[in-house]
Amino acid sequence: MKRPSTKRSAPKRKPVSKSKPAVTPTRPSERGPSKGPRPRPSVPEMKPVSERGRRTPDGRPRPPRLNEPPPDPSKSPERIQTHVLSLDKLARLTVETAVIVERAVYEDKKHADRTLSNILRERRDLGQLDRMLISQAVFALFRWKGWLDPLGFERPEARLLYAWLLDAPIVHPVCRLWAQAIRRDPSRLVSLGGAPNWTARAEGWKRLHEDIAVTADPWRLFPQWLRDHLPIPPGLGSPKTKNLEFLHSLQSRPSLWVRTQGVEPKNVWTELGNLGLRPWIHRRILSAAKLGPDANVHHLDPFKYGRLEIQDLASQAVGIACDPDPGERWWDACAGAGGKAIHLAALLEGKGLVVATDVNESKLKETIRRARRSPFRNLTTKVWDGKRVAGKPGSFDGVLVDAPCSALGTWRRNPDARWTLDKDAIPRLAELQAQLLRAAAAGVRPGGTLVYSVCTLTPAETLGVIRPFLAERPEFKLDPFPHPLTGVDTDGTVLLWPQESDNDAMFIARMVRSS
């Protein structure tokens, strides 16, 4: 049974599904007896490779045929990449870039990823491997700052060298150049990035500095306030053991999660395999797959023609928890760059409407750019003031509030954020989140769905926002749903932890409006 329509009939709450099949872009409804398989969205006719330069009626480049002969893997861009710069130049440029990014973060309060992206965009002389090395080295500085700072390294070469050794599974040749610059023996360098646990990594760190005393406390790699704002992680063993497992996961480089849209997933996974990539397909979400941390898909046809989208698994889980039905109207109130809004458009199978809003107009420009590349046209954007409904009150079948937060769930990919967030910001953020949730809730129709999500784990920003809201608005109740990644029943809320599924940390709460 579908959820109640917008007609003035008594709203009915949809039944809770006790089991849920593997999630695919076209999945059967969970709300009642099946009405048969839903038709897949039609895929525009594909043109031969020789006609790639032609345009579709809406002005987009025509994608190649899905059944073209697979390319020769030996000629894959992923396999022929080499460093363009000499090692000397690459080592110097990495040092110069690191100094600029550190100054931008600590003095100008800018984001490391945006600053780094702007720098690399101006360097037309760099190859893909050059860019990857510079990025990894710079992010390693922020990831291991807590162990590097007590050693008082003045030269950036020293900080880069030891940050790389802690972070990476191999000793890159540029490390030897940095070692020579600080008069260390290059032959004694040992990589610690592949250490299986904290004990092994700490022992290796001490061996690298036999001449001085070093600190190897995992908690020093994070701001002091984290201890007071972290719930006990799941898992076996003592709370200390579970905390260490969580911290260890935060120090690992993030995998690249991608999802398919508008096409049969296995066709895209086969295409990536033929290009030399090895997608690890999620056992439950067949449209989601994980690639290695260094994978690059931006230049590949599946990405350029909208069949593939980059989106972390935790972010995908939010859309799955929303569980929209084709033809519904959804509002993504805090859309940001649009990842979740575009996923909602895909889950709606191109039908209905997604209204993506944000208080920041510049972020919506990125949403528009990404939406144009996707195969769906059921998404519109609008600047939101954060106070009034972006449309007629009570007119949306579903509303998603992915609110601004402390974002500790993204510290794997944005390690600089852990050093720039003031602990006093958490109560301020919780107040803002509650305000946005109250404002957006007015858009939900009777019988409709309200989803609240934040990429953090702090109690103040998760249940600390939901419980007061439910007490204040009795017409909303928690709506139990299957765990998006495992299928296990939930009470209507779920915490996703990086050590469990190799994804960002995320809190999701789903509610239903009864009247």
* Fold: same for 257-309 and 312-513: no
Q: What is the pLDDT of residues 185-200, one digit of tens each?
A: 999 999 999 888 888 9
Q: What's the whole-number mean pLDDT along residues 219-229? A: 94
Phi/psi for 450 (5° steps) reads -125, 120
pLDDT band at 335 (very low <50, low <70, confident <90, very high): very high
pLDDT of residue 259: 97
Residue 14 pLDDT > 70, yes or no? no
Give the ranges where 307-450 is alpha helix by DSSP (H). Answer: 313-322, 339-347, 361-373, 417-420, 425-441
pLDDT of residue 214: 86
Phi/psi for 381 (5° steps) reads -120, 155
Phi/psi for 11 (5° steps) reads -65, 140
C-beta of residue 64 within 8 angstroms of C-beta of residue 111: no
Mean pLDDT of all residues belonging to the chain: 86
Q: Is residue 175 flagged as an active site residue?
A: no
Residues pairing with 383 in the sheet: 358
C-beta of residue 404 within 8 angstroms of C-beta of residue 334: yes
57-66, 83-92, 249-258: least confident range: 57-66
Identity at 500, one-letter amino acid code: E
pLDDT of residue 282: 97
C-beta of residue 276 within 8 angstroms of C-beta of residue 79: yes
The radius of gyration of the chain's CA atoms, rounded to the nearest angstrom, is 24
pLDDT of residue 210: 79
Estimate to the nearest angstrom the gap between the alpha carbon of 96 and the chain centroid.
28
Cα distance between residue 499 and residue 235, in whole Å: 9
Residue 120 pLDDT > 60, yes or no? yes
Residues pairing with 308 in the sheet: 260
Q: What's the whole-number mean pLDDT along residues 6-34? A: 40
Cα distance between residue 85 and residue 126, in whole Å: 7
pLDDT of residue 12: 42
Six-digit token pair at 14?
């949809």
DSSP designation for 349: T
Cα distance between residue 356 and residue 348, in whole Å: 14
pLDDT band at 212 (very low <50, low <70, confident <90, very high): confident
Cα distance between residue 281 and residue 304, in whole Å: 21
46-60, 104-118, 181-195, 328-342: least confident range: 46-60
pLDDT band at 237 (very low <50, low <70, confident <90, very high): very high
Which of 175, 334, 405, 455 is catalytic? The answer is: 455
C-beta of residue 397 within 8 angstroms of C-beta of residue 324: yes
Q: What is the pLDDT of residues 474-487, one digit of tens each?
A: 999 999 999 999 99
Cα distance between residue 509 and residue 462, in whole Å: 8
Q: What's the whole-number mean pLDDT along residues 61-72? A: 38
Class of domain 312-513: alpha beta
Q: What is the pLDDT of residues 140-171, one digit of tens each?
A: 999 999 999 999 999 999 999 999 999 999 99
**What is the three-class DSSP state of 120?**
helix
Q: What is the pLDDT of residues 77-115, one digit of tens each?
A: 443 356 788 999 999 999 999 999 999 999 999 999 999
pLDDT of residue 67: 34
Domain 257-309 superfamily per CATH: Sun protein; domain 3 (3.30.70.1170)
Residue 423 pLDDT > 90, yes or no? no
Q: What is the pLDDT of residues 377-419, one digit of tens each?
A: 999 999 999 999 999 999 999 999 999 999 999 999 999 999 9
Cα distance between residue 90 and residue 87, in whole Å: 5
Residue 332 pLDDT > 90, yes or no? yes
**% of the chain exceeding 90 in pLDDT:** 75
Q: What's the whole-number mean pLDDT along residues 47-63? A: 39
Residue 10 pLDDT > 70, yes or no? no
Q: What is the pLDDT of residues 25-48, one digit of tens each?
A: 433 333 334 334 444 343 333 333
Residue 453 pLDDT > 60, yes or no? yes
